[in-house]
Structure 1
Amino acid sequence: MNWDLNAPPTTRVYNLTVSEIQAAPDGVVRTLLVFNGQFPGPLIEANRGDRLLINVTNTLQNATTVHWHGLYQNGTNWMDGTSGVTQCPIPPGKSFLYNFTLENQYGTYWYHSHFQTQYSDGLVGPLIIHAPDEASIRVGYDFDQIILLSDWYHDLSASLLPGYLASGNENLEPVPDNGLIQGTNYFNCSSYDPDSGYICQDNSTQASFVVSQNKRYRFRLINTGSFGEFQFSVDNHTLTVIEADSTLVEPVTVHRLPIHIAQRYSVIIHTNQTATNYWIRAWLNTFCFGDDNLPVLNPNVLALLTYTNTTYEPLDTESVDWTTALELQCQDLNVTELVPLVAEDAPSPDQAFRIDVSFQIHDYAIDLAYINSTTWVPLTVPTLNQAITGLHADNATFNNLGLSTAFPSSQFIITVPELQVIDLLINSLDEGAHPFHLHGYQFWIMADGSSGDFDWSTYESLNITNPMRRDTMTIDAYGWAMIRIRADNPGLWALHCHIAWHMEAGLLMQFQIRNDLMKEWTLPSDVAALCNG
């Protein structure tokens, strides 16, 4: 709370070293991939208007990237950190300087590897941007606390992925072994047989958050997991939601809050209860999983809220879970409950596109994800590099409105050559929910449904008065959503399911936006050099 919101813009320098360590966040020893030797990674904090210089040194045996989740990167598309889209990955033994300015946004964000499934193994960290605009809500709380939630596996994701993508496996994703709060949790070692091959230490601990009585705390919740949605609550304490995906919202009080992968919420809790210990609960919604992973997984992930700065377990008579329950579905907080504090009406659309999301079994009985008829495969030459080259050469195929034919068939790319407002109807034909994230933008949620099809007869009457804006939303199983985008930020921007397994199965598409600006770009030499190995 000592951060100066009104400090003049400055340059802030951070250094991140990506390495491999042996650690036991929940008592089970495994290999982790980490930033600066720690899990989760260090906090990156800045003000709107600041320039960030973040030097990433890769000491892994494999390549890597870092994506700055939720940042617009307006004018610096090549700093978005998406392997195969905006850059070639950073080779082993090499460094790369991410250099960008934080313009026109503030709130709760995070950063993570965007190369294969690496972030599942620990390459995550919080990123907070402040602004003078926060002053009006700061009077409503006394302390600011970041809380990272994550599902957790006891094996490297690279060892789990081949089984997921194997012939005959019909999209049965690896189920987590545990859940973590602030990178730690207890695990019952007796869940594994003695010959399981795991080294399990019965000395792991749960996270503990010390509070003072009669204060208000802002908890910035970030789901950095790979597969699981959490339902977050604090015994005896209500949650007042004030932010969703960096959009400040009119206060909404709830008992439990669903938070899917890559989403962020800020909630206020008032510590006005008896001075004792209470459970913080982050229940992994097992309804979202295709298997139960019993007896290994305990979905009731716990941490301590302690008024007494002690670690004793709360008494059942004092720490009482809420009796109200959320539906057993993988759904976001009802969008009608979220009203942006800073009103912004949705503009009228110029174009509308529809995509169908599905999993399909084709050659060799392999079940892959599809956007319409395309399953994504990352390219060795990023689509951004190809687009800039094509625009410089006046190749007309890079400049046609709509589905692009300029790229290989493994790339589903919608081109919007000039400033327009576009609607995208995302229609799920899959039995599982999908948390979709759009890079470089926030979108308006114009309408959504948990079943059936969008009724186009209602299209002209959609509410345009300050609809909710965010960058990650959950599309229900067999559901749909209509999102609206003001396509003004130039570059190649990914839209993908943030379930790590699904993206590796091909559930990613892109937008190529503002060719009228991109044609003047020259790819920075250090970005281009990454593709030289």
Structure 2
Amino acid sequence: MAYRFSMILIFLAAVLFPAPVESAVRHYKFNVVMTNVTKLCATKSIVTVNGKFPGPPIYAREGDTVIVKVINNVQYNVTIHWHGVRQLRTGWADGPGYITQCPIQTGQSYVYNFTLTGQRGTLLWHAHISWLRATLHGAIVILPKKKVPYPFPKPHKEKVIILGEWWKSDVETVINQAMQTGLPPNLSDAHTINGRPGPAPNCSLSSGYTLNVKSGKTYLLRIINAALNDDLFFKIANHNLTVVDVDACYTKPIKTDIIFIAPGQTTNALLTADQAPGKYSIAISPFMDTVVPVDNMISTGAVRYKGLPPFPKTTLTAMPPKNATPVVKSYLNSLRSLNSKQFPSKVPLDIDHSLFLTIGVGMNPCATCVNGTKSVGDINNITFVMPTTAILQAHYYGIGGVFTDDFPGNPPMPFNYTGSVPTNMQTMNGTKVYRVAYNSTVQVVLQGTSFIAPESHPTHLHGHNFYTVGSGSGNYDPEKDPKSFNLVDPVERNTMSVPTAGWIAIRFLADNPGVWFLHCHLEVHTSWGLKMAFLVDDGEGPTQSLPPPPSDLPKC
């Protein structure tokens, strides 16, 4: 009897207090090297990780610890950013150069160590200094914990599809020349799907990516936009896609024949091979709804059903015009958080900090530039100046003179943001952060402006996910627009496009101590200074505080 009673107690204990699921430690080594590759019938040397373009994927499960040793064997300074990883109390591993770390110099190494807490889905890693991320990028695949199913039908297979841009010339030379002349940088020469541009003019060697499928099977496509400067449309001829996840956050399933994806964003979509066996075009094309020049190259690959003869005819697909704003707006407005019992939306309702940030491109004097002026990016009329000491390091050690914490929460000089262009387009320079207390709730309205070249700005927040509770065209109305905010199931992301001459409102909980970058993910705008940072103070006790830096933290 006593034995039976003790077994009952053991059973109840196992039910009420289940054993924790063991998490793994995933080790990776990233050797940053120069590699010769052939694209568009030309061979050039590019910066890669382990000689691969795109770079090697990181595979892990929710709760796993990822340890990546990055060894810099090239002439450039290097950092790696784990885009979208929350980095809870691991800000030293976030990666943006001179924000959370000094870069890894030639011949040196650094070990990134972080845990994937409360996340599952697709993210990406990329270089976060200068324009190196053009070729230094790869996928982060976060699987659910063992025995935890997807909240959608299990796919037959999963495929990573990385979209990018390709320059025939050296990208570091492209941006360096642009910064010296004050002129916009040269456009890319092609777009790529998993490193392949597809058939291109005057290049018979330019092959495209092929996705092999079986009739009747469903595939989970993990789509990543790793392009430097281009918003992209993604489409497969004669097939619909069911979006189930964006930026490693589950969504209510939506069926669509086209996906819009901005630089830095990821999308998980289900593809069912439900058409007549054949070969169907995969196509990507740029989105730009203003006069800003863009790489117009449409790159293609193919979905190929198994069992076909060697050279089947390809069914093509028509892409939307590059200025298809209604397509983009309809797609983005259809995205909603899953908001289930297991994956609830946790939208902040009471707001501690309400910020209004104008973002755009201006013009500053430049005596050494071609036209005596240079293009600059700004937030609230401040063009961010990169320091020579990492801000996080300066904050942790109390090093003065590196940054100030007086970033304005509102525009210093209000004006008609989407109306006629002001006569004075000059900005102020500064290395400023906006400071918030631990566990503060923050609302940020990002307002696009009509300076110089109004366009869509994919804006990325480090160290946090946010909810996009509202968006619109024209100037944000603080009295009218909040009445239509979605506070129930808004989409949760880490990167969201501010529409051309429009606005978005985002909310997040500042529950991660450290310094966290907010910037446009168009690399040209980041280079021009369209960026700022949040400083989240420590909370109470060690579990709410930033730990000391690792011993191998690179020095400036």
TM-score normalised by the chain length of structure 1? 0.87
Residue of structure 2 equivalent to 1:217: 219
Residue of structure 1 equivalent to 2:187: 175
Residue 287 of structure 1: how far off its partner (Å): 4.6
**Deviation per CA, 1:207-228, whole angstroms, max 9, x where unpaired?**
1111111100111100000011
Residue of structure 1 equivalent to 2:13: none
Residue 292 of structure 1: how far off its partner (Å): 5.6
**Equivalence map 1:65-464=2 (5 Å):** 65-120=79-134, 122-132=135-145, 135-137=149-151, 139-167=153-181, 169=183, 172-186=184-198, 188=200, 190=202, 202-285=204-287, 287=289, 290-291=292-293, 299-308=297-306, 315=313, 319-321=315-317, 328-329=324-325, 331=328, 334-341=331-338, 342-347=343-348, 348-364=350-366, 365-390=373-398, 410-430=430-450, 431-459=454-482, 462-464=485-487
**Deviation per CA, 1:347-366, whole angstroms, max 9, x where unpaired?**
22122011111222122211
Q: Match of 1:427, as an amino acid?
A: Q
Residue 491 of structure 1: how far off its partner (Å): 0.8
CA contact (8 A) 1:403 1:412 kept: no
Residue 25 of structure 1: how far off its partner (Å): 3.4
CA contact (8 A) 1:345 1:467 kept: no
Partner Cα separation in structure 2 for residue 271 and residue 461 of structure 1: 39
- In structure 2, do the counterparts of structure 1 residues 136 and 22 end up closer, same or farther at CA, with 3 Å as the change threshold? closer
Q: Match of 2:304, as an amino acid?
A: T
Residue of structure 2 equivalent to 1:531: 555
CA contact (8 A) 2:168 2:189 kept: yes
- In structure 2, do the counterparts of structure 1 residues 207 and 178 end up closer, same or farther at CA, with 3 Å as the change threshold? same
**Deviation per CA, 1:242-272, whole angstroms, max 9, x where unpaired?**
1111111111011111111111111111111
CA contact (8 A) 1:346 1:465 kept: yes
Partner Cα separation in structure 1 for residue 153 and residue 25 of structure 2: 28
Partner Cα separation in structure 2 for residue 124 and residue 374 of structure 1: 29
Q: Match of 2:131, as an amino acid?
A: T
Residue 332 of structure 1: how far off its partner (Å): 5.8
Partner Cα separation in structure 2 for residue 310 and residue 69 of structure 1: 39
| Higher mean C-alpha deviation, range 75-84 or range 333-342 | 333-342
TM-score normalised by the chain length of structure 2? 0.84
- In structure 2, do the counterparts of structure 1 residues 160 and 399 end up closer, same or farther at CA, with 3 Å as the change threshold? closer
- In structure 2, do the counterparts of structure 1 residues 164 and 425 end up closer, same or farther at CA, with 3 Å as the change threshold? same
Residue 398 of structure 1: how far off its partner (Å): 7.3
Residue 289 of structure 1: how far off its partner (Å): 6.9
Q: Match of 1:516, as an amino acid?
A: G
Partner Cα separation in structure 2 for residue 282 and residue 460 of structure 1: 37
Partner Cα separation in structure 2 for residue 283 and residue 467 of structure 1: 27
Please give the secondary structure, in 2, of the residue aligned with 1:362: strand
Residue 155 of structure 1: how far off its partner (Å): 1.3
Query: Which structure's CA Rg is the greater one?
Result: 2
- In structure 2, do the counterparts of structure 1 residues 345 and 53 end up closer, same or farther at CA, with 3 Å as the change threshold? closer
Q: Match of 1:421, as an amino acid?
A: T
Q: How much is the aligned-residue C-alpha RMSD, in angstroms?
A: 2.8
| Higher mean C-alpha deviation, range 18-27 or range 503-512 | 18-27
Structure 2: unaligned runs, 5 residues or longer: 1-19, 367-372, 411-427
Partner Cα separation in structure 2 for residue 436 and residue 49 of structure 1: 27
Partner Cα separation in structure 2 for residue 134 and residue 469 of structure 1: 21
CA contact (8 A) 1:256 1:325 kept: no
Residue 385 of structure 1: how far off its partner (Å): 1.0
- In structure 2, do the counterparts of structure 1 residues 463 and 273 end up closer, same or farther at CA, with 3 Å as the change threshold? closer
CA contact (8 A) 2:232 2:286 kept: yes
Residue 399 of structure 1: how far off its partner (Å): 7.8
| Higher mean C-alpha deviation, range 348-357 or range 59-68 | 348-357
- In structure 2, do the counterparts of structure 1 residues 402 and 422 end up closer, same or farther at CA, with 3 Å as the change threshold? farther
Residue 345 of structure 1: how far off its partner (Å): 4.0
- In structure 2, do the counterparts of structure 1 residues 115 and 324 end up closer, same or farther at CA, with 3 Å as the change threshold? closer
CA contact (8 A) 1:429 1:478 kept: yes
1:11 aligns with 2:25: yes
CA contact (8 A) 2:237 2:317 kept: yes
Residue 331 of structure 1: how far off its partner (Å): 3.9
| Equivalent pairs, count | 501
Partner Cα separation in structure 1 for residue 230 and residue 290 of structure 2: 7
- In structure 2, do the counterparts of structure 1 residues 36 and 515 end up closer, same or farther at CA, with 3 Å as the change threshold? same
Please give the secondary structure, in 2, of the residue aligned with 1:67: strand
**Deviation per CA, 1:429-471, whole angstroms, max 9, x where unpaired?**
1411111011111101111113232343443663311211111
Q: Match of 1:475, as an amino acid?
A: V
